[in-house]
Amino acid sequence: MKFHRTKIPGLIICEMKKIKDNRGIFFESFRKDLLEKYLGKEINICQENISESKFGVLRGLHFQKEPYSQSKIVAVVQGKILDVVVDIRKNSKFYGKTFSMELDENENKQLFIPKGFAHGFVVLSKKAVISYKVDNYYNPKSERGLKYDDPYLKIDWKIDSSLIITSKKDKKYPSFDSNYLD
68: annotated active-site residue? no
62: annotated active-site residue? yes
Please give the Cα distance from 102 to 134 (Å, whole number): 20
Determine which one of 4, 68, 132, 152 is catalytic: 132
Please give the Cα distance from 84 to 159 (Å, whole number): 14
The three-class DSSP label of residue 37 is helix
Partner residues linked to 68 by β-bridges: none
Backbone torsions φ then ψ of 32, nearest 5 degrees: -55, -45
Determine which one of 62, 119, 148, 173 is catalytic: 62
Please give the Cα distance from 98 to 93 (Å, whole number): 12
Sign of the Cα torsion 146, 150, 153, 158 reads positive
Catalytically annotated residues:
62, 132
